[in-house]
Amino acid sequence: MGKFSTYRYLELKDDSPTPHINVRSRTIKQPRRLKKIFILLVIAVLFVTYFLGLFAGQSQWLDGIAKSLGYQSVNHYAVIIDAGSSGSRVLAYKFRVPFTVFGQANLDLVEEYFEQSKPGLSSYADDPAKGADTIVQLIKKAEFLIPAEKRRTTPLIVRATAGLRLLPKDKAHQLLVEVSKAISTLGYDVGPNGVEIMDGSDEGIFIWYTLNLLHNLMDGETMAALDLGGGSTQITYQLGDGDSKLFPVSDQYVVPAGGNNITLYTHSYLNLGLLAARYGVFSMEANNNTTTEFTSVCVDPIVQKEPWTYGNKQYVISGARRQGLKREAVYNLCHNAVVKYLKRTMDWEPARAPRGSVAAMSYFYDVAADAGIIDVMKGGTVSLSQYRTSAVRACSASNVEQPWACIDLVYVLTLLQDGYKMKDNDPVSLFKKVNGHEVSWALGLAYTTVMNRIAVMVEV
């Protein structure tokens, strides 16, 4: 599949593919709405803010006054399907346009619906019609959020990620065809590019967008976003002055952030998602890509012939004999195997750690929660040394209920340390939700899609 422009979503017309270029520059044209009945109110407020020195906060203040006086904001909706390698998710959004006079208008996220199903779409490679039906059922669960009269103008976008990237092209294509056919009858606005395999850079940039939108950081110093899926992982962060020469031009994107354009670095690593890496290490240890039985130093010997499904295929995993090795020695054996796999799989190795504060999502969060490093509901901030302590403990524990705890913790630590060049005491903020909203690339995609549709309507 050809690589299309990541920020075609930010263009005013997003229904035609744009050729890939190394560095992209896109600007969201912001809508301006001014109701005539509020003109006199606006003039009065401007005088008040000028004299009281409150001008900097006028947007939120004016919106609050406008709402109290009966201003009815227009609502906009979007439905996004995240067809990931380990499961499919629907994220439906309700936005409102706040009342603004000066500056760039934004969208307020009013309500969100999230639901997921397993297994992922790629698991239906041999039964694409059944896979398409799993997507339809998710969309139907979100119908309550979208008024019937709004569905015809509500964008419905399906994006498959690493699971489909790893399938043979003909099987992936047939899945997309069946999904397109199935959702075309649901009454939503499905564009020509409504169902696609998502480029890895898209995934990284939109999760970065979501993270910083939810933290209201788009006008200031933004956070680095690390995302760890089942099949791939992405790293995305803002570059500083003079940083461009340190990174491949193909990994740099000029994007709108607040009132400015900034340059992001983003890279997606296929086969370095948690599940793909787990399989990769097992397969490398066996030195056999065809066997379905693995023995690993990263699995406790008490685990024998443990069934595991990956890539729609059944495997059995057993722990290697340890012959009285101490816990540090077991950890080191596993770490050596994981480092070997990581180094041979990474197609680009950065020279330094991410710039700025670092946030991590998805399996970074789940692995830490399963190990008890963070609260499973609230998340938290951890260090690499905490991951290491838990990894050493897990690699010497006979825990049949969590047979993959050792390899998963070692892999997360190795990716952060050896792959992303972070140090032991570097803090990593782990998020699943921010202010009640799911931290998913879907929000970044929904936000930019709706903003550009509004901009088109305003111009017309």
pLDDT score at 7: 35
pLDDT score at 68: 53
Selection from 215, 265, 257 nearest residue 238 by Cα: 265
pLDDT score at 290: 87
| Cα 319 off chain centre by | 33
Digit-coded pLDDT (tens) for 241-284: 889 999 999 999 999 887 788 999 999 999 999 999 999 999 99
Query: Which residues, in sequence order, are bridge partners of residue 310?
Result: 313
Question: Residue 79: what are its φ and ψ, rounded to 5°?
Answer: -125, 125
pLDDT score at 120: 93
* Structural contact between residues 207 and 441, judged by C-beta atoms closer than 8 angstroms: yes
Selection from 17, 18, 386, 445 nearest residue 192 by Cα: 17
Q: Residue 43 corresponds to which tokens in the numbers above?
A: 């003039």
In whole angstroms, give the CA distance from residue 346 to residue 366. Answer: 23
Instruction: Give the active site residues.
Output: 203
**Element containing residue 114 per DSSP (H, E):** strand 108-117
pLDDT score at 399: 84
Q: Residue 48 corresponds to which tokens in the numbers above?
A: 């008040």
Digit-coded pLDDT (tens) for 346-404: 999 999 999 999 999 999 999 999 999 999 999 999 999 999 999 999 998 888 899 99
pLDDT score at 55: 42
pLDDT score at 34: 44
Q: Which domains can be identified in the chain, with CATH numbers?
A: 6-200+441-459 (3.30.420.40), 274-434 (3.30.420.150)
pLDDT score at 453: 87
Is residue 264 left, alpha or beta, with left meaning phi > 0 and alpha meaning psi from -120 to 50?
beta
pLDDT score at 451: 86
pLDDT score at 22: 37
pLDDT score at 303: 95
Give the residue carrying structure tokens 């976003």. Answer: 225
Q: Enumerate residue ranges in the chain where pLDDT < 50.
A: 1-35, 37, 49-58
